[in-house]
Chain A
């Protein structure tokens, strides 16, 4: 069985603050893939990143960075210098190697105030 926990239901920050969204996963497979998606108020889900279980290297893309720690089964997402446009619901997802079906966390609603 696979499970994704996003313990933070809602986070509220002021513009320019850094914010970290937590994601903890569970799987028995040694091969798996982790994802982050952004869902702005318009509704569409925007792909942000995919990481496979064999690549623990952290990644930075502009103001976004991801910290993958297999030891703690976490794949946290940090937004540096947050902006109002970052306001959205962010979903973490897991796909185990033996399945095509992804498991999504419940999402974290990020509100960035001007």
Chain B
């Protein structure tokens, strides 16, 4: 069964550093997403991406965040200057644009120290 692949599985970074979280969505999917889940809390929408541009973003997705699809397979989330409160699980998801729901990756646990 096709999977959304995320790397790394765990990233530790110092406050103020830049991090890039990487995702390989399912190949025939057209819509791509990043979600965040702070430990013990619900999954929160960050941003959606379609046709090589952001289609929607939440209030969480401020100027410190950016997304990019640098080639035909990767989809990245960059946090320019990490804060302690950015510590969370970050999930990438993709969708065909047709029926069925999104497929989520296994997540990257980001720890900012």
Q: Is A bound to B?
A: no
